Each structure stands twice: as structure tokens, then as C-alpha cells.
Structure 1
Amino acid sequence: METMEYAHGRSRSGSSTSAPASLVVLVSSLVIVAAPACVAPEEDEPFVDTASFAYTVPAKGTATTLDVAGWNLEWFGDASRGPTNDTLQRQNAYDVISGADMDLWGVQEIVSVSQWNTLKSQLAGYAGFLSNDPIVTNGSSYYTTSEQKLGFLYKTSVATVQSARVILTAYDYEFAGRPPLEVKLSVTLNGTTDNVIVIVLHMKALADSASYLRRLDASTALKSYLDTNHPTQKVFVVGDFNDDLDGSISGNPTPYANFLADTADYHFATKALTDANISSTSSGGATLDHHLVTNELALALVPGSVEAYKVSTFIPSYASTTSDHFPILSRYTWAAAKPAQVVINEICANEPGSSVTGEFVELVNIGGLPAPLDGWTISDTTSVRHTFAAGTTLAPGKSLVIFGATSAIPAGTPNAIGSSTSNLGLANAGDAVYLRDATGTTKDSFSYPASLAAVDGVSMNRSPDAAESATFVLHTALVAAGSSPGTRANGAAF
């Protein structure tokens, strides 16, 4: 397939080429060619009766799971590239999407807005938009009507869009002129509502060294963005990644090794396709299209649900009439949110300087619901050191830091309070910290040895950070900083 990339008023020789050459939940696929200098406005096509080439595609989605799909719809609606019969391509796309019955679709290579709007109007129960739609923040600045665009479709009975925007625009070049589309959603299934984020992306194509390095830099930028901005959110990244997971099509290591190495935070659902040597394209070869999810979704993945849906079985001449990529599907269980669970995440027993009021205990709610802390206490082996005031609540995924005294809270520390006794009394020679609810039931505790309180200003922190079954280590074993009250160990916000 001929490829094209787009410039959006950015120099290709300046800083846009200097993103870090390292690794980095959306829908991806890459393309490269010179964009036409002038494209006439699109006109509605004359009516064509498509009933004679409608096909039945079996359903893959279910009523009780969240069903996610990504699909590169090769040059969809383009008059001169991709499948030659745009009306037939649109009808086949309708047959696949309506038949597969998935809840969410991230699509790539949508060119014709009018063909997209027609397709969308025919899909009963679905709504959607393209990356240049007015509702998409930054969209029209990076996507025009005549070029390939990212798109998103969703069942209105399942999801409500909260916001949409084009992200990582500083890496426009690394993403081949197609920066990712991020959609924030409220999803309701089985009587349970929760928020998710879908990122649709289309990575740089081709096996040459320069293209590989751009994918590598885009992957690095993407992971940094997710680590910093969505450390506890449920995120799907779907699309044409234009490379595989067990090695690059360029002969180098996979550009997505950074995600694969961070097993605590990310999971490639489509690694199963790579491991089984299942291609995502009609021409065979590597698995180029993927679904990446954050750890908040990894355990919800339905075993055996990941599939490169070979709809060529149902649609004759699929590769020449519809697309050179197959839809990639995955399904996820959807249950009630995990109950609130508050853990002790960081303890500073050996305060910086000589004032013991600088001691602190950091709590994190790693559950999925708010945690009411009315009447809860923090104690050491000697006595109760803090009692939480009525009305104190800790939101899911957030932290609360209790310092020895309010006067010791460093400027800018988020969500911090002073202890009700003005003294946490944590011993450097070893002690224990207990978190108990209003009934006196211990919700979490940690007995620490002197070795974890031996250095002034260095705290002890869970490793991995904010993980339920983690052990405590010196903060300097995680990062150079001695402590991180109110933020993740790496300084990112909770």
C-alpha cells in the first residue's frame, strides 16, 4: 500500500526530529506520501443501491462485556487511492461494523468526510467523529478534510463521550503528521458505570531505519504521556502500530519494548497474536495492529477474546474492495468498581533537618470507590498519633499525606494535613505504622527496621509504587529524590 505522511506547518528539519529515541492507548497506523497541493471540496456521491453486495458478518461482541475494536480502513473514501469503488468499500465497512457488534471502534485512514458521515448515519445505535471534528480539541489544527484521519465510533447505549482531543502534538513529526486521538468516555454496562480513555493512533510505516526511529521516539513520547497523565486510569490504546512486538520489521528490537518491559503498568493484549504468528494484514507477515491496555484493564481481558477478525471469509475480494488490514478485537469483563482500599504508601521516619514535625505518612486509595476516613486513625507502637476529622474522604487513585504538624508541610505539597496530635513520633531505630478504621480494625500496617530510617530526609516507599502487594524500600532505590509526599515516587501526580 502506498503510504503518505502529512506536514502541518512544521519544519521537518528542526526540533521536531529530535524526540528521544526510546520507547513508548490509542489506535495507530502509519502512512507516507506528499499531500496534494489542492483538493476540491467533496461532493455527495449519487445514490447507488448497495443491497446487491451486502454480506453477513457474524457477531463477536456480547451484551455483558466491553468490546473494543481497531481497524485501518485503507484510504477510506479516497477517490484515487485504496479500493477503487468507494461505495462498495463503505458498504463492506458497514457490514463488518454492524455485524461484529463491538461497543467501541478506533479507526484509521478515514479520508472522505462525506463517506464517513454516510457510514455513520447507516449504523443504527452508533455515534462517532473524526479527528478534525469541531468537538476535538486541537483537531482541525492537525487534520484537514483531504488527508487521512483517525476516527472513533461508539454505541450510544454503552458509552457517553466526555471529551476528545488530539494529543502529543509536539511529536507531530514522529507520528508522521498524525498525532493520536484521545477520547474520554463514561461507560455503563451491567448496571455499573466507570470512566475509560481510548487513544487511537496510526504510527509511522515502513521498515527503513529512519521510520523505525520515528516509531521508537513516538513510543517513548506515548509512554511518558501515559505514565505522567494517566497513571491510574483505565486506558485503551488501539490502532495501526506499524510494527510487531517480538522484533521490528526493520530488523531492530521492537520499538514498543518500553511498554513490554513495564509489566506492572501495561499489557499488550495483542501479544497473543504475535506469539501465534497471526498477521493483522491481508498480505500476511507481521502483526502490525495492536491493542495496548493499562494494568487497570489487564486482568479484565477475556481469555481468548483477542482476534484478528478474518472478515475476508465473508466479504469476497476483501483486500481489493475493503482494506489491507483486518479488524483487531478484544473483550473485557465489566463488573462493579473495586471497593475502596487505602494503603500506607510512603513513610518518612527520619525527617530532613532536626524538626520531628517533618515526619510524614502518605496514604493512597488504590481501590475504585471513594474511601470515607471519618474516625480513622494512624498509630505507631506507642499511641494514636492522628485521628481523621469527620467528612474526610480519599478519592480513588489519590493520596493524602499526614505530616507531624501543619507548619512542616512543604509549599506545594498536594493534599496534605498536619496530625491531630502535632507529633507522629516515628522512631529512627525501628517502629511500626498502623492505619485503623473507626471500629479499630487494622486496614494496613508496616513494621520497619532501622535500616529504612537511617538517612536524614530519605523516606521508605512501596516498590512498585502504590502497589498492593509491594515491599518497602528506601526512596532513593526508586529515584534520586529522597522522598515524594503527595506524588508518585517519580514526581508524577496521583
Structure 2
Amino acid sequence: MPIIYFNFISYQKRSLRFIKMKSVFSFIYVFFICLFLNAQSFENLTFGSEDTFEVMTWNLENFPKNSTTTINYVTQIVEALDIDLIAIQEISDEASFQQLVSNLPDYYGYLESTYYDGLALLYKSDATRINNIYRIFNTTAYWNAFPRAPMVIDLTYNSQQIYIINNHLKCCGDGVLNLSNSNDEETRRYEAMNLLKTYIDTNLPNENVIVVGDLNDVLTDAESNNVFQNVLDDATNYLFSDFDIAQGSSADWSYPSWPSHLDHILITNELFYAFNLSSSKIQVIKIDESLSGGWDEYDENVSDHRPVALKLTINSNLGLQHTVTNSLRFTSYPNPASSNMVFNFNPSQTNTHIQIVDIMGHLVYSKNLTNGQSKVVFNVESLSNGIYVAKLSSANNTATIKVVVSR
């Protein structure tokens, strides 16, 4: 089994390991897997498409959880989903990961280390070009916040550069954020999220960034205990694409055993426009529903986490709808809001209007502004809790803001 080593210029201290297996034996191997594991039926398990970029986060719980049986299950699941890039957590055995990649002739695999972190990557080489992979916050000063140093994947898809940051944050806790205790689990996750935000704000301020992983906490905690609060408060620049899932039925959450929704996909504002297109999709992939044994079979043979996947149309228009010109400035307060939200902007000219749409693109508010008007007060009490996008348009200029309704 050949293993290819490749050193990136900016990451010289240790070599990055790419695993690529492609032979007729792989096809034969997968064929016999499908014959013998006839209790599985993945015909309806689909997600990827040729015209979109898909990223998925998946905690594979001490992979392989059930030896070769797990490898066989995951092989079929990955092939059925046909996703461009899969960020994985908890790979425990390098040889097993090699076997998984050898079963997937359309995918490359990357695993830096099974020691402690277990962060890994599967990606389709025909659609995605990896420019670089490197770790951040991997020195001893950050071990408390990041027991597993985040993995940054710099890639190009359809001529657009995208940064994926794969994470597995500290687990457990009592649900109470105790900032006076540096060993408090919630405090460690809170610090990790703030460090990630600062890193993006400082190093990738105008880039397409997607933060994924088992973040080991829920998005819907009260503000005083919410480890994501500083990110949620910066609604102009950040959006948890799975926020509506977190607010929805527990049947759709990524960690049914608790139940809770712990696996998330966060995007920066450069991707808001793509996310609001009708072609986009965010989903917890309920693989267990494709198994005859349901959740028990999935939990025994695959993982205790369901994967979360995001689909986006990535093209030359990416980010253009979020350009704020000098002639059009747009702010909102408070955000999140529970009653009234105030939109402030420079005095409007002829044909200026404001619109608010929900996450599915449905119009919930529209108002034409009078000349010289610089403020709109909008009552959100009639809206359901969730994420909306406000758009201010004037002539050829457009500015957008994410609006969060929370009570």
C-alpha cells in the first residue's frame, strides 16, 4: 500500500501524509462488502451533486469502532453521500484509516497523527485542490483551550479559495460557564471559540472560511452559559449554518444519545450569499434511518455522532453580494433582538429599499425608504426564533446583515 509524503513550504517541521489507493482490487473489495452486508440499504442516502461544494463534519468515535465492520460501513456511506470534503474527528488507528481510503478510489485521505487528536480528512481530488494543510494553536500555551490543535485546510474549488478549520473541542461539563475556573470544561470551549474567532478576524478577514467539527456544546444555551456567545453576537461576520437545526426537533440533532446537537458548521460572511441561495442545504445526515437496525445498529458499528453536511454553490459571484461600498453603510442593533431591531444607514436616496428574508429565502419584510431616511425600526415579535438576512439596496449598491431573532 503506497503512502505519499508531501512537504508544503509553509509547513516544514513535519511532513504531511496523503494516502491514495486506487486499483481494481478496491472495486472488487467494495463489491463483496455490498454482497455480504445485505442488511444495509443506502440507495436513498444522497447529498452531493456535481454543481455544488459539499463539506461534512463527522465524529467517527474511536474509528474503527467495530473493527473491519466499521470500515465497511463507512466505505459505503461515503460513497453514497458523494461529498467533496469530509472533516473527521477521532481516528484511532492509522492502518484502518489507510484501509478506508484504499476502499474509496475517488478520494484522497489525510491523517497527520492518531496520537491524541485523530483529526483526518477525506476529499475528492477531481473537484478539490488542496493548497496547504497546517495546524494552529498547537503549542503548550493553548493545550488547555485546544486538547486537539485545529487543522486548517487551504483549498481551491471552482477557482475560489476556501479555508476549512477542523476541530474537536473539549468534551463534557455541567452546562454552566464558570470563567473564574480555567479548568472548567465550558470555559475551555469558550476560550477556544474566542481564539478561533480572533484567528479568523486577524489572519483570514476577507476569506471564505468554514469552521467545522465536534464542538461539544449546544448553540441554544442562555447567553450567560453560551460558549459561542461572542461568535453569535458578531452576526455581521459569522453564521452557524446549523442554527435552525439546533433550535428544532431533537429528532434531527447530531448526538441522539443525550440528546443534543454538538456538531456544527460555522461560515463567515463571505459565504452568506451562497448559503441563502436555493441550491444550498444544511442537514444532519440520519444514516441510522437507512439501516434495518436503526440507531442501535449505527451506534454499534459506526459512531455515536451523526454527521452534519453543508452544500453551497461556489462560483465567481461568491461574496459579491456582501460588498459594502462607501456610499452604503448598514448596521443593526440589538442583534440578536427579541422585540424591536433598529437599522441605521446613511441617508437614503431615490429607490432605496430594505428587505428581510428568512433562511429559506422567503420575504418577511419589505419597505421602500423616503429620501433622506436613515433609520428603520422593525418589530420582530411576529417572527419565529431563528436567523434572517436583511438587505439594503440603493441603485447598484447592496449591503446585507444577518439578523438573529431570539427570545
TM-score range, shorter chain: 0.5 to 0.7
SS of residue paired to 1:334: coil
Query: 2:305 matched to 1:333?
Result: no
Q: Distance in 1 between matches of 2:304 and 2:318?
A: 40
Distance 1:340 1:98 in 2: 34
Structure 1 segments unaligned to the other structure (5+ residues): 1-46, 78-82, 133-143, 347-466, 471-494
TM-score by length of 1: 0.53
Letter in 2 for 1:283: S
In 1, Cα distance between equivalents of 2:289 and 2:325: 54
- What residue in structure 2 maps to residue 245 of structure 1? 219
1:298 partnered with 2:272: yes
Supply the distance in 2 between the matched residues of 1:158 and 1:221 (Cα, whole angstroms).
31
Q: CA, structure 1 residues 110+265, in 2 after alignment: closer, same or farther (shift >3 Å)?
A: same
Q: Can you list the C-alpha shifts for 1:238-263, whole angstroms capped at 9, x where unaligned? A: 11010011117xx9521011111111
Change (3 A) 1:174 1:219: farther
1:233 paired residue number: 207
Code of the aligned partner of 1:332: L
Q: C-alpha distance in 2, partners of 1:145/1:344? A: 47
1:69 maps to what in 2? 56
Calculate the TM-score normalised by the size of structure 2. 0.64
Q: Classify 1:112/1:339 alpha carbon distance in 2 versus 1 (closer, same or farther; 3 Å).
A: closer
Sequence identity percentage: 29
What residue number does 1:313 align with? Answer: 289
Within a 5 Å distance, the mapping from 1:85-164 to structure 2 comes to 85-130=66-111, 132=112, 144-164=113-133
1:164–1:181 CA contact under 8 A, matched in 2? yes
How far apart, in 2, do the equivalents of 1:343 and 1:60 lie?
33
Distance 2:117 2:318 in 1: 40
Q: Which has the larger share of strand?
A: 2
Which residue, out of 230, 253, 278, partners 1:279? 253
Deviation at 1:345, TM superposition (A): 5.3
Partner of residue 156 from structure 2, selected from 186, 200, 204: 186
Distance 1:146 1:343 in 2: 45
State the SS of the aligned residue for 2:227.
coil
| One-letter code aligned to 2:120 | G
Tell me the distance in 2 between the aligned counterparts of 1:68 and 1:119: 18
User: 2:273 & 2:172 partners in 1: Cα distance?
Assistant: 33
1:163 deviates by 0.4
What is the alpha-carbon root mean square deviation over aligned residues?
2.8
CA distance in 1, matches of 2:253, 2:319: 40
The match for 1:213 is 187
User: Mind listing any 5+ residue stretches in structure 2 that lack a counterpart?
Assistant: 1-28, 179-183, 328-396, 401-407
Pick aligned residue for 1:203 from 148, 169, 173: 169
CA distance in 2, matches of 1:468, 1:265: 16
CA distance in 2, matches of 1:119, 1:290: 24
Structure 1 distance, partners of 2:307, 2:62, is 15
Distance 2:153 2:310 in 1: 18
**Contact 1:282 1:319 (C-alpha < 8 Å) held by counterparts:** no
Q: Distance in 2 between matches of 1:339 and 1:228?
A: 19
CA 1:207 to 1:334, structure 2 compared with 1: closer, same or farther past 3 Å? same
**Residues 405-444 of structure 1 mapped to structure 2, 5 A cutoff:** none
Looking at structure 2, the residues matched to 217 and 107 of structure 1 have their Cα atoms a distance apart, in angstroms, of 22
CA distance in 1, matches of 2:221, 2:206: 29
Q: CA deviation at 1:98?
A: 1.0
- Alpha-carbon distance between aligned partners in 2 of 1:340 and 1:238, rounded to the nearest angstrom: 24
> Residues 214 and 199 from structure 1, CA distance in 2 versus in 1: closer, same or farther, beyond 3 angstroms?
same
